Structure 1
Amino acid sequence: MTDPLTRPPTDTTDPLDMELGPVVAEQPDPLLFATVSGAHLYGFPSRDSDVDLRGVHLLPVEELLGLHEPEETRSRMWDRDGVEMDLVTHDVRKFVRLMLRRNGYVLEQLLSPLVVHTSEAHAELVALAPGVLTSHHAHHYRGFANTQWRLFEKTGEIKPLLYTFRALLTGIHLMRSGEVQAHLPTLLGEVAAPGGLPGLIAAKAEAEHGAASGVDRRRASADAQVLHAVLEEARLASRLPDEPTAYEALRDFVVRVRLES
């Protein structure tokens, strides 16, 4: 079983032409990490894609012990130099709880190679990530793929169709290798995938909400169903455990980083 760190894609360059240090400095509480997620991480950004920043902040102890509900999740959207920015961060306790709920989405954020801000705590959390991987993460990716497929049926856009196949291929790869790999172009070379995906990636690069006008929906549906079956086979054959093994280590981590802040 390989290290679950997402390998940095060889054909991916920095998705930003701007300095993001000030974005980190503007946050009201310290960030353990901030990474780029979304289409840039997945390998199919458009010219007009927004930049999805995801991370973990550290609330002070008094906010957790006081009378007000702590601000465990913060969301902000704004325009920076003509680029739409979308920043979402969770307090470390909430983020770790999400990790333990077999949430592949937060693991992709944690393990993203597109790092805007890091710390020793970030590195430690990355090192603990293998202990939360389970065979049940297949259900996360199956559910996400189904949601995106329904969105594709409603809108007819390329974006949710690519998200559908990306989720299925990431899930298959995870079940087989124990590695979180979110970059679709990399997955095309490692997992049997529909042949039309490179063309869809190229088409989406021109427009974030472009229509999948040349797609045979029956063929796409059949391809998706095949990958669902492959994902289930991979889950049943996976060497990943049924339950997380890092609960105690993650509990100790959350307590320690809070007390050290």
Structure 2
Amino acid sequence: MTVEVPPWAADVARALPRPLLFATVSGAHLYGFPSVDSDLDLRAAHLLPPEEVVGLRVGPQTLQHAGMRDGVELDVVSHDLLKFATLLNSRNGYVLEQVLSPLVVVTTPLHADLVVLAPRLVTRHHAHHYLGFAANQERLYAKTGQLKPALYTLRVLLTGIHLMHTGRLETDLGVLGTGLAYVPDLIAAKREAEHGPLPPGAAERLAVDLPRLRADLAVARDTSRLPDRPEPAAVDALHDLVVRTRLGRDPSATGRAPA
């Protein structure tokens, strides 16, 4: 589906009190099922100056902002470049999805470098992230019976399966769920209300499909051709990127809105 990002999203991201390296949209907008009352989740990386890293007064590793704009609830989170790179060089699917999000509101040449490097850091062990995330959402769904955690559980499992099979990241449930005939109805219901009920019959289908997909992801992990560890040359390149950027040898520390 086509997702419209508010034109002021870049201004909201740049209001954080450190230079941005990128900012992208995450959450329901990225997953292909925003509702009319969805909040806007912005995820970013910022750059601390050397004096806030090597001295006694250490700058914020994570910046957060919450608020409202034009009736839209905001959730903005940014990590310093070193923290972001450390997470990226792990099996953290959150930051992988953030840096590779196609919904870009602020970008830099360094962001472009990260987009190139990120796929080379993907391993079969990213499946553990998706299995864990799905388990948390499935517990929430079992407790509440609500549509939103059901959609999140489906999306997470299908993203993990696709990543294990192809090495490529896909987060849009409308693309991932083409083999499940009831997914369009779930997405349509979610568009109407953030915390709406499940459509009739969906609970019965989910009771069958969620355990099957969870098992499919475990098998996909065990049979994936993805490596056990990130590509060493990519890790070296990520290290060099952090060092030269921190020391001011890279002119990419000022974020710009995408063309």
TM-score by length of 1: 0.90
Q: Does 1:250 align with 2:226?
A: no
What code does the residue aligned with 1:77 have?
A: A
Deviation at 1:215, TM superposition (A): 4.5
Alignment partner, residue 200 of structure 1:
186
Paired with 1:136 and 1:100, the residues of 2 have a C-alpha distance of 12
Comparing 81-90 with 25-34, greater Cα deviation is found at 25-34
Using the alignment, how far apart are the partners of 1:199 and 1:207 within structure 2? 13
Change (3 A) 1:107 1:73: same
- TM normalised by structure 2 equals 0.91
Q: Which residue of 1 is the match for residue 59 of structure 2?
A: 70
DSSP 3-state at the match of 1:164: helix
Q: Which stretch of structure 1 is more off in the superposition, 206-215 or 83-92? A: 206-215
* Residues in 2 aligned to 1:216 and 1:126: alpha-carbon distance in whole angstroms: 37
Q: CA deviation at 1:238?
A: 1.1
1: distance between equivalents of 2:193 and 2:51?
A: 46
Deviation digits for residues 224-246 of structure 1 (CA, Å, limit 9, x no counterpart): 11111211221122111001112
1:57 to 46, 60, 73: 46
Matched, 1:168 2:154: no
SS in 2 for 1:35: strand
Change (3 A) 1:51 1:216: closer
Alignment correspondent of 1:3? none
CA distance in 1, matches of 2:5, 2:110: 25
Report the Cα offset of residue 217 of structure 1. Answer: 3.6
Unaligned runs of 5+ residues in structure 1 are: 1-10
Is the CA contact (8 Å cut-off) linking 2:67 and 2:75 kept in structure 1?
A: yes
Q: Distance in 2 between matches of 1:24 and 1:136?
A: 31
Aligned-pair distance for 1:60?
0.7
Give the distance between the partners of 1:165 and 1:33, measured in 2 at CA: 28
Task: Describe the superposition over 1:195-250 as per-residue Cα deviations: whole angstroms up to 9, x where unpaired.
Answer: 22111111011110112263454541321111112112211221110011122211
List gaps (5 residues or longer) in structure 2: 254-259
Amino acid at match of 1:256: R
Aligned to 1:205, what secondary structure does the other structure show? helix
2:205 counterpart of 1:223: no
Residue type at the aligned position of 1:110: V
Letter in 2 for 1:96: A
Out of 244-253 and 43-52, give the one that drifted further: 244-253
RMSD of the TM alignment (CA)?
A: 1.5
What CA distance in whole angstroms lies between the structure 2 residues aligned with 1:225 and 1:150? 12
Which has the larger displacement, 208-217 or 247-256?
208-217
Q: How does 1:43-122 map to 2 (within 5 A)?
A: 43-122=32-111
Q: Structure 1: which amino acid aligns with 2:151? A: L
* Counterpart residue type for residue 102 of structure 2: P
SS of 2:143's equivalent in the other structure is: helix
The answer to whether the Cα contact below 8 Å between 2:3 and 2:29 also exists between their aligned partners in 1 is no
Tell me the distance in 2 between the aligned counterparts of 1:77 and 1:215. Answer: 36
CA shift for structure 1 position 69: 3.8
Identity of aligned residues (%): 55
Q: How many residues align?
A: 247
**How far is the alpha carbon of 1:28 from its aligned partner?**
1.6
1:140 pairs with 129, 135, 139, which one? Answer: 129
**SS of equivalent residue, structure 1 residue 209:** coil
CA drift at 1:21: 3.2
Q: Contact 1:14–1:114 (CA<8 Å) still a contact in 2? A: no
Distance 1:142 1:21 in 2: 32
2:169 matched residue in structure 1? 180
